[in-house]
Amino acid sequence: MATIAFFAPSAAGHVNPTLGLAAELVRRGHRVTYATTEAYAARVAETGAEVVPFTSAWDSLDLPDVPQMHGKELIRAMGLLLDETRAALPQLADAPRPDLVVHDGTLCWWGRILAKRWQVPSVETWPNFVGNEHWSMHRKYTTINPLSLGFLRMMLRLGRFLRKEGFADVQAFVRGDGAGVRLVMLPRAFQFVGETFGDGYEFVGPALTQRAYQGGWEPSGDLPVVLVSLGTGYNDRPDFYRTVLRAAEGRPWQVVLAVGGVDPAALGPVPPNVEVHAQVPQLAVLSHARVFVTHAGMGSTMESLHFGVPMVTVPQMAEQRANADRIAELGLGRALPIGDVTGSAVWEAVAEVAADQRVRERLSWMKGELAAAGGATGAADAVEKLLNLGP
């Protein structure tokens, strides 16, 4: 069997989508190593993979906010990613040469570089929409002026670094053109113009694990459950949480509210039908939920679709706006722009999607698309095919 090295950035939305694939490859007898930080070591270890610890440069930064993915903020994000790549490479480069590298395609530049250094094939996991000549996130959601001085400086800086690593084409590097296969962790039916993506893209859908490390969760009574969460990256929204709390009082719902790093004491009185947590075992809660009020991160979106839970989306950044638009376009929920969030608007949308039979029918259709995509099994088949171990 093969030795397969996994690499991903220190971010839940990029680690979680890979865990099912890692677990399936371990189950098939492969030796899987997974380079990750202390924050994600427990969830990686649960897959059976060997944890390879490394220290993220991002952990030492006191960022007042997470960069958005457009305009000047995109330039700042690219700079931080280059710094992280410079920090990760010397920590990981001396590992024994694997037979194949699996790495996050969006943010894990060091995985791409290590595969080239080792001269081994690579599989990229893309936990979000992919782009081509027919559709691109940058055309509508992450606009940037390619002639701006800041962007040109960033591209020159990145180009100098990549040339030393043997990459002549910066754009091809960022796109991941050298990958043996791109595993897109959503079904083709959810991808914008999915039918236009040909060879090199495998739309395998979410590859979920049980996440026993998070513990379980059960409803406290007979009320229908609504989960409210803005994810892990752009969740510093105390005003939003206060709005939800005030409007939830007396409503016939059990509300599970995840507030991230926001101090629950700063949110005011908590009604008896609401429970407030920093984080929740999301899969366990979604297995009981009737509605999900979500930031529409792709990981959360796929998890909600896996359980057939309709969504009320409150996107916080560009990529999430794209996801929210697609959810609404496909009839899987309702988009609620953050500027339109009031207590009455949230609960009106919750009641609407919970009662909408058409939404239920669309969710049933999409669950079928997820099942047909293959998930962890289909992803592992693609990896073994690249290794010439499978059909």
127: pLDDT strictly greater than 80? yes
pLDDT tens across 223-235, in order?
A: 999 999 998 777 7
Q: Are 154 and 78 in contact (CB under 8 A)?
A: yes
- The mean predicted confidence, pLDDT, of the chain is 92
pLDDT tens across 161-208, in order?
A: 999 999 999 999 999 999 999 999 999 999 999 999 998 999 999 999
The reply to whether 212-371 shares the fold of 3-205+374-386 is: yes
Identify the pLDDT of residue 70. Answer: 47
Tell me the two tokens of residue 345.
């608007």
378: pLDDT strictly greater than 70? yes
Confidence of residue 66 (pLDDT cuts 50, 70, 90): low
CATH topology assigned to domain 3-205+374-386: Rossmann fold (3.40.50)
Distance CA 160, CA 238 (A): 42
**Residues contacting residue 153 through CB under 8 Å, at least 6 positions apart:** none
Letter string b/e over residues 336-346, b meaning 16 or more CB atoms within 10 A of that residue's CB: bebeebebebb
Distance CA 103, CA 214 (A): 24
Confidence of residue 65 (pLDDT cuts 50, 70, 90): low
CATH topology assigned to domain 212-371: Rossmann fold (3.40.50)
Letter string b/e over residues 246-276, b meaning 16 or more CB atoms within 10 A of that residue's CB: ebbeebebbbbbbbbebeeeebeebeebbeb
Distance CA 131, CA 154 (A): 22
pLDDT tens across 72-89, in order?
A: 677 888 899 999 999 999
> Per mean pLDDT, which of 61-65, 200-204, 318-322 is the most reliable?
200-204
Q: What are the boundaries of each domain within the chain? A: 3-205+374-386, 212-371
